[in-house]
């Protein structure tokens, strides 16, 4: 891979794949799209045109056999991520999986084991860890500026109308997608455990209150961390008329910080017992994202490229993806069984 651009193939050319295509284009000096694949030929062809006329396929097996790339980016429905990732790893390619890494731990573990056995890298796209606002929050946390951590509040107040679910029959199903926690709020669940650490118990309630889907459109969870800190995770896809808020508030005995906006794009509170020079960065950290996905995929691919070049550690690998999935599944189990659950 030295002396040339890294080549990525994309499996699944639906809505999220556009962010991958744009992110790779933004990293064109070191990366390129080499092939695309979708079971729907029109989608595969359209993605090929968008990527500059690269080869397109309707079969992942055919694409893997043709080769000509270094890594495979999985942009298919969530329940298919392990299947497609395992196939890519067994063919000797690195794997970049959209979140979540899968929807059940057994299949995710098989994916992780396959990548380990084949000696290839497994990345989980959890790009919100790289948001400049979130990086400031994590830095303050690592430096101990909050003192003892007491409470965290995570809110994902967005809207997904019924036609969003209707345009793709796998959305909102238990077999391929999950609900608001598994799909839309999975980045926020990941950030909660990434910032809070190991978890001792979860108690949750979920409901399907406004959309005709199998899984939940609304839910709330209370999490107790091993440190003693308590957090609430509040999620709904029923906000009228548009996305309202995606936020994290962290409170300690010596500091309070809130990263908010519609998608963690603005620092709304930043108070600590002692001023530090880095606090000047707070004013410049905010931005206006084009969508709730922000610009994070470009930064995420920069990290993937740096890792594959041997110049950096991954911001979120397969095992990190597994950790956030375990918390989501614990939330679902608690809501179903009406009892506290340890992930």
Integer Cα distance of 296 and 287 in angstroms: 12
Q: Give residue 288's pLDDT.
A: 75
Residues 6+ apart with CB under 8 A from 113: none
221: helix, coil or strand?
strand
Question: Residue 294's pLDDT band (boundaries 50, 70, 90)?
Answer: low
pLDDT digits over 128-174, tens only?
A: 999 999 999 999 999 999 999 999 999 999 999 999 999 999 999 99
DSSP 251: E
Asked whether this chain's domains 6-125 and 129-290+323-337 adopt the same fold, the reply is: no
What pTM value is reported for the model? 0.95
Q: Give residue 292's pLDDT.
A: 65
Taking the CA atoms of 134, 135, 139 and 142 in sequence, report the sign of the dihedral they define. Answer: positive
pLDDT digits over 198-236, tens only?
A: 999 999 999 999 999 999 999 999 999 999 999 999 999
> Mean pLDDT throughout 230-247?
98
Asked if 169 and 77 touch (Cβ cutoff 8 Å), the reply is: no
Neighbouring C-beta atoms of residue 107, cutoff 10 Å: 18
What is the chain's alpha carbon radius of gyration, rounded to the nearest angstrom? Answer: 20
In this model, does residue 290 exceed pLDDT 90? Answer: no
Q: What is the CATH number of domain 129-290+323-337?
A: 3.30.360.10
Size (the chain), residues: 343
Residue owning tokens 């063919």:
91
Q: Give residue 278's pLDDT.
A: 87
What are the residue boundaries of the structural domains of the chain, listed by start? 6-125, 129-290+323-337
How far CA 115 is from CA of 64, 85, 122, in Å, comes to 16, 9, 6
> Mean pLDDT throughout 181-195?
97
What CATH topology corresponds to 6-125?
Rossmann fold (3.40.50)
187: helix, coil or strand?
helix
Q: Give residue 286's pLDDT.
A: 83
């Amino acid at each position: 891979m030295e002396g040339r651009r890294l080549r990525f193939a994309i499996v699944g050319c639906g809505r999220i794949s556009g962010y991958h295509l744009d992110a790779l284009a933004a990293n064109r000096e070191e990366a390129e799209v080499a092939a695309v694949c979708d079971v729907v030929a029109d989608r595969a062809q359209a993605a090929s045109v968008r990527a500059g006329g690269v080869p397109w396929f309707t079969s992942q097996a055919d694409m893997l056999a043709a080769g000509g790339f270094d890594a495979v980016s999985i942009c298919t429905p969530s329940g298919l991520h392990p299947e497609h990732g395992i196939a890519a790893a067994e063919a000797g390619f690195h794997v970049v999986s959209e979140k979540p890494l899968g929807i059940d731990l057994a299949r995710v573990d098989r994916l992780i084991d396959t990548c380990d056995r084949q000696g290839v890298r497994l990345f989980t796209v959890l790009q919100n860890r790289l948001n400049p606002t979130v990086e400031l929050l994590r830095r303050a946390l690592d430096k101990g500026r909050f003192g003892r951590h007491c409470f965290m509040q995570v809110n994902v107040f967005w809207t997904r109308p019924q036609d969003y679910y209707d345009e793709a029959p796998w959305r909102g199903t238990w077999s391929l997608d999950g609900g608001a926690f598994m799909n839309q709020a999975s980045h926020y669940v990941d950030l909660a455990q990434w910032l809070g650490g190991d978890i001792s118990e979860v108690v949750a309630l979920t409901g399907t209150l406004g959309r005709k889907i199998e899984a939940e459109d609304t839910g709330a969870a209370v999490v107790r961390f091993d440190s003693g800190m308590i957090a609430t995770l509040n999620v709904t896809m029923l906000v009228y008329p548009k996305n309202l808020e995606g936020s994290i508030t962290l409170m300690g005995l010596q500091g309070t910080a809130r990263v908010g906006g519609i998608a963690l794009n603005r620092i709304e509170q930043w108070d600590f017992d002692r001023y530090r020079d880095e606090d000047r960065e707070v004013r410049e950290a905010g931005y206006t994202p084009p969508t709730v996905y922000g610009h994070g995929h470009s930064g995420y691919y920069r990290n993937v490229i740096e890792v594959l070049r041997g110049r950096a550690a991954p911001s979120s690998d397969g095992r990190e993806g597994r950790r956030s999935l375990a918390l989501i599944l614990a939330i679902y189990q608690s809501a179903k069984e009406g009892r506290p659950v340890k992930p």
